[in-house]
């Protein structure tokens, strides 16, 4: 079995702006922070967890701040928990208050203004974003984010659900860490969510003519399924995420994927159960894995598993 991926945790509290600059430089990008207004009372705190290029960092600034940065080489999204956050990069600009998420545009130097902000920052490896974009038919060199804010309030809620999933994964990892299969699937799901939530060029490739459902809509549906396969989602949820009616969604899946949304969801859940069985430690049972991924009938689960992977789930668990 593959070696576990350790989760690195770091908590830093500082009143020294130079120390804060160095931490941000090491963890994210070269930067120039400046306190706006009185410097008395300045304080900074960061609580971060990271594994395999994925990191989640809760950051609090006890001061109004102005920060200039070099372009980021990773994909970074900040969700405001308190305060006001304003960011400008290239031709893009965004403002966020409590509950809002903003994507940092890559390939552009940023100017960030914060009013006593507490935020949760998710950082994803660029390779994961490029990989998902390529699957959507967009060459990484042509990938471009066209906005900082989510495409809709529903998309914003989808990103918040993604953060919650990633946070549970990193927080629940014991001293042994996370199995690479589970971590890779989580990073892939987060990258898919980022490309579904924030406006970018994967959303406009193959734009539809009159009366047609664009493959981009199917990709949004697929991304929603893959990001929320562990939740009790419905066909109506998937259709809403894709911006389609249920009948149009069904027809689009048959045309472009030769399957149905329900069958696709079942396949994704079966693959996730397979990965979990391969990564399982002592004491884990087939029944609990099957139930966790929505399979209530163990006999039917075993039959579908064997048809897909050529072995019984109990055999995978033992090897």
Which phi and psi (to 5°) does residue 147 adopt?
-170, 160
pLDDT digits (tens, 9 = 90+) for 13-32: 999 999 999 999 999 999 99
Q: Which CATH architecture has domain 8-124?
A: Sandwich (2.60)
pLDDT digits (tens, 9 = 90+) for 84-128: 999 998 888 999 999 999 999 877 899 999 999 999 999 999 999
Q: Which of 75, 230, 90 has the alpha carbon at shortest distance from 162?
A: 230
Q: Mean per-residue pLDDT for 30-44?
A: 92
Q: Mean per-residue pLDDT for 67-95?
A: 94
Q: pTM (2 decimals)?
A: 0.68
Better-predicted residue by pLDDT, 297 or 212: 297
Q: Mean per-residue pLDDT for 220-239?
A: 86
Q: How many other C-beta atoms lie within 10 A of the C-beta of residue 245? A: 12
Q: Mean per-residue pLDDT for 23-48?
A: 94
Q: What is the pLDDT, as a whole number, of residue 79?
A: 98
pLDDT digits (tens, 9 = 90+) for 150-171: 988 888 998 999 999 999 989 8
């Amino acid at each position: 079995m593959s070696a576990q991926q350790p989760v690195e945790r770091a908590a830093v509290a500082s009143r020294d702006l130079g120390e804060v600059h160095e931490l941000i430089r090491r963890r994210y990008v070269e930067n120039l922070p400046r306190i706006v207004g009185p410097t008395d009372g300045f304080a900074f705190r960061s609580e971060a967890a990271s594994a395999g290029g994925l990191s989640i960092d809760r950051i609090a600034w006890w001061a109004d701040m102005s920060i200039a940065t070099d372009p980021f080489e990773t994909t970074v999204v900040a969700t405001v928990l308190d305060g006001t956050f304003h960011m400008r990069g290239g031709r893009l600009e965004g403002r966020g208050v409590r509950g809002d998420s903003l994507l940092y545009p890559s390939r552009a130097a940023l100017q960030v203004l914060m009013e006593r902000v507490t935020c949760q920052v998710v950082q994803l490896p660029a390779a994961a974003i490029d990989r998902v974009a390529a699957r959507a038919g967009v060459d990484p060199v042509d990938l471009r984010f066209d906005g900082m804010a989510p495409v809709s309030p529903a998309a914003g809620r989808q990103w918040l659900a993604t953060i919650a999933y990633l946070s549970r994964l990193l927080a629940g990892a014991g001293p042994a860490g996370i199995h690479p299969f589970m971590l890779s699937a989580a990073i892939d799901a987060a990258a898919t969510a980022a490309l579904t939530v924030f406006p970018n060029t994967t959303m406009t490739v193959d734009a539809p003519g009159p009366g047609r459902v664009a493959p981009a809509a199917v990709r949004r549906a697929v991304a929603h399924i893959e990001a929320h396969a562990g939740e009790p989602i419905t066909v109506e949820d998937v259709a809403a995420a894709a911006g389609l009616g249920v009948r149009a969604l069904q027809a689009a899946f048959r045309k472009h994927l030769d399957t149905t949304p329900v069958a696709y969801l079942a396949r994704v859940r079966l693959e996730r159960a397979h990965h979990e069985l391969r990564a399982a430690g002592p004491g884990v049972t087939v029944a609990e894995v099957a139930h966790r991924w929505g399979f209530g009938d163990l006999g039917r689960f075993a039959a579908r598993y064997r048809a897909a992977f050529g072995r019984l789930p109990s055999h995978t668990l033992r090897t």
